[in-house]
Structure 1
Amino acid sequence: MRRALLAVSIGLVLGVSGCSENNNSENTVTSNSVSTAVADPSQPSEKQALSVEQAYLALVDDFFNDYLKLEPIYATFVGVNDYNDQFGGDLTEEYLKTRHDLNTSYLARVEKINRDALSPELQLSYDMFAYDRNIELIDETFPSRFMPMNQFYSTVISMVQLGSGESAQPFNTVEDYNNWASRLSGFITWTTLAQERMDEGARSKVVLPRVLVERIIPQLQAQLVDDASKSLFYAPINNLPTSFSDTDKAELTAKYTKLINQELIPALASLTAYFETTYLPVARASDGWWGLPNGKIWYQHLANTHTTTQMSVDEIHQIGLSEVARILSEMDTVREQVKFEGDLKAFFASLSSEPQYFFTERQGLIDGYMTLKDQINAELPKYFNVQPKADYVVKPVESFREQSAAGASYESPAVDGSRPGVFYINTYNLKAQPKWGMTTLSLHEAAPGHHFQIAIKQELTGVPEFQRFSGYTAFEEGWALYAEYLGMEMGLFNDPYQYFGKLSDEMLRAMRLVVDTGLHAKGWTREQAIQYMKDNSPMAESDIIAEVERYMAIPGQALSYKVGQLKILSLRAEAEAALGNKFDLKAFHDQILTSGSLPMAVMESKVHHWIKTQK
Structure 2
Amino acid sequence: MSRIHASLRASAMAAALLTGVVSSPAVLAAPQPAAASKQAAKQLDRLAQAFYDARAKFDPLLYATANGDSRYNDQIGMAIAPAVRASQFALYHKMQKQLQGIDRTGLSASGQLNYDLLGFEIAAMLDLEPFPEHLLPLNQFDNVPSTLANYASGTGSQPLTNPKQYRDYLSRLNQLPGWIDQAIANMKQGMRQGVVLPKALTAKMLPQFQQLRSAKPEASIFYTPVNIMPAQFSSKDKQELTAGYRQAAAKIGTAIDRLGQFIENEYLPASRDTAGFGAMPNGQAWYLARIKHNTNLPLTAGEIHELGLKEVARIEQQMAELGPKLGYTGPAKGLAQWVSAQDKFKPFKTEAEVLDAYRQIYARVEAKLPQYFSLMPKARLDIQLEPELTRETASDHYTPPAADGSHPGVFWAVVNDPKKYNDVGMVSLLMHEGVPGHHLHAALLKELPLPDFRKFDTEHFNAAAYTEGWGLYSETLGKEFGLYDDPRFYYGHLNAELLRAVRLVVDTGMHAQGWSREKAIAYMADTLGTGEQRATNQIERYMAWPGQALSYKIGALKILELREKAQKALGPKFSFQKFHEVVLRDGTLPLPILEAQVERWIAREK
TM-score if structure 2 supplies the norm length? Answer: 0.91
Q: How does 1:454-469 map to 2 (within 5 A)?
A: 454-461=442-449, 463-469=450-456
Match of 1:588 among 579, 592, 600: 579
Q: How does 1:88-487 map to 2 (within 5 A)?
A: 88-261=77-250, 263-358=251-346, 359-406=348-395, 408-430=396-418, 433-461=421-449, 463-471=450-458, 472-487=463-478
Q: Give yes or no for contact 2:140–2:202 (8 Å, CA) kept in 1.
A: yes
> Which range is displaced more, 352-361 or 147-156?
352-361
One-letter amino acid of the structure 2 residue matched with residue 473 of structure 1? A
Indicate how the Cα distance of structure 1 residues 120 and 432 shifts in structure 2: closer, same or farther if over 3 A, else same. farther
Q: How does 1:517-532 map to 2 (within 5 A)?
A: 517-532=508-523
Listed one character per residue, the Cα deviations across residues 234-289 of structure 1 (whole Å, up to 9, x for unaligned) are 1211121222122321232122112212x110111111111111110001000111
Structure 1 residue matching 2:401: 3-state secondary structure: coil
Residue identity over aligned pairs, in percent, reads 36
Q: Give yes or no for contact 1:372–1:442 (8 Å, CA) kept in 2.
A: yes
1:111: Cα distance to partner? Answer: 0.8
Listed one character per residue, the Cα deviations across residues 117-140 of structure 1 (whole Å, up to 9, x for unaligned) are 222222222111111111211201
Structure 2 residue matching 1:424: 3-state secondary structure: strand
Q: Give yes or no for contact 1:174–1:248 (8 Å, CA) kept in 2.
A: yes
One-letter amino acid of the structure 2 residue matched with residue 515 of structure 1? V
Q: 2:489, 2:419 → 1: CA distance?
A: 16
**1:610 matched to which residue of 2?**
601
Listed one character per residue, the Cα deviations across residues 370-393 of structure 1 (whole Å, up to 9, x for unaligned) are 111111111111100011111111
1:458: Cα distance to partner? Answer: 1.8
One-letter amino acid of the structure 1 residue matched with residue 165 of structure 2? D
Q: How does 1:47-86 map to 2 (within 5 A)?
A: 47-73=35-61, 74-86=63-75
Q: 2:516, 2:439 → 1: CA distance?
A: 35
1:144: Cα distance to partner? Answer: 0.7
Listed one character per residue, the Cα deviations across residues 204-253 of structure 1 (whole Å, up to 9, x for unaligned) are 00000000011100000001111222222112111212221223212321
Structure 2 residue matching 1:458: 3-state secondary structure: helix
Match of 2:489 among 473, 492, 498: 498
Structure 1 residue matching 2:485: 3-state secondary structure: coil
One-letter amino acid of the structure 2 residue matched with residue 573 of structure 1? E
> Which range is displaced more, 90-99 or 135-144?
90-99
> Which range is displaced more, 165-174 or 598-607?
165-174
Q: Give yes or no for contact 1:432–1:539 (8 Å, CA) kept in 2.
A: no
Q: 1:176, 1:115 → 2: CA distance?
A: 41
1:565 has 2:556 as partner = yes
One-letter amino acid of the structure 2 residue matched with residue 350 of structure 1? W
Structure 2 residue matching 1:596: 3-state secondary structure: coil
1:516 has 2:507 as partner = yes
**1:17 matched to which residue of 2?**
none
Q: 2:26, 2:200 → 1: CA distance?
A: 58
**1:545 matched to which residue of 2?**
536
Match of 2:591 among 600, 603, 611: 600
1:545: Cα distance to partner? Answer: 1.4
Q: Give yes or no for contact 1:504–1:538 (8 Å, CA) kept in 2.
A: no
Listed one character per residue, the Cα deviations across residues 470-510 of structure 1 (whole Å, up to 9, x for unaligned) are 23110000001110111101111001111111100000000
Q: Give yes or no for contact 1:21–1:613 (8 Å, CA) kept in 2.
A: no
Q: 2:383, 2:320 → 1: CA distance?
A: 32
Q: 1:87, 1:21 → 2: CA distance?
A: 40
Q: Give yes or no for contact 1:431–1:540 (8 Å, CA) kept in 2.
A: no
Q: Give yes or no for contact 1:353–1:431 (8 Å, CA) kept in 2.
A: no
1:594: Cα distance to partner? Answer: 1.1
1:172: Cα distance to partner? Answer: 3.4
1:51: Cα distance to partner? Answer: 2.7
Listed one character per residue, the Cα deviations across residues 512-571 of structure 1 (whole Å, up to 9, x for unaligned) are 000100111111111111111122224343322111110010010000000000100111
Listed one character per residue, the Cα deviations across residues 339-360 of structure 1 (whole Å, up to 9, x for unaligned) are 5221112222210112221234
Structure 2 residue matching 1:225: 3-state secondary structure: coil
1:183: Cα distance to partner? Answer: 1.7
**1:536 matched to which residue of 2?**
527
Q: 2:382, 2:355 → 1: CA distance?
A: 10
1:416: Cα distance to partner? Answer: 1.0
One-letter amino acid of the structure 1 residue matched with residue 407 of structure 2? R
> Which range is displaced more, 413-422 or 426-435?
426-435
Q: 1:556, 1:432 → 2: CA distance?
A: 31
Q: Give yes or no for contact 1:352–1:431 (8 Å, CA) kept in 2.
A: no
Structure 2 residue matching 1:422: 3-state secondary structure: strand
Q: Give yes or no for contact 1:91–1:194 (8 Å, CA) kept in 2.
A: yes
1:429: Cα distance to partner? Answer: 4.5
Structure 1 residue matching 2:398: 3-state secondary structure: strand
1:604: Cα distance to partner? Answer: 0.7
RMSD: 2.0
Q: 1:570, 1:267 → 2: CA distance?
A: 51
Q: 1:322, 1:80 → 2: CA distance?
A: 41
1:409: Cα distance to partner? Answer: 0.6
1:178: Cα distance to partner? Answer: 2.6
Q: 1:315, 1:546 → 2: CA distance?
A: 25
Q: 1:375, 1:91 → 2: CA distance?
A: 44
Structure 2 residue matching 1:133: 3-state secondary structure: helix
One-letter amino acid of the structure 1 residue matched with residue 193 of structure 2? S
Indicate how the Cα distance of structure 1 residues 79 and 205 shifts in structure 2: closer, same or farther if over 3 A, else same. same
> Which range is displaced more, 156-165 or 411-420?
156-165
Q: 1:46, 1:582 → 2: CA distance?
A: 37
Structure 2 residue matching 1:434: 3-state secondary structure: coil
Q: 1:66, 1:295 → 2: CA distance?
A: 28
Q: 1:338, 1:162 → 2: CA distance?
A: 42
One-letter amino acid of the structure 2 residue matched with residue 103 of structure 1? Y
Match of 1:578 among 569, 591, 598: 569
One-letter amino acid of the structure 1 residue matched with residue 453 of structure 2? F
Q: Which has the larger radius of gyration?
A: 1
Query: Structure 1: which 5+ residue stretches go unaligned?
Result: 1-19, 24-39
Q: 2:254, 2:27 → 1: CA distance?
A: 68
Structure 2 residue matching 1:423: 3-state secondary structure: strand
Structure 2 residue matching 1:395: 3-state secondary structure: strand
Q: 2:578, 2:404 → 1: CA distance?
A: 27
Q: 2:67, 2:431 → 1: CA distance?
A: 24
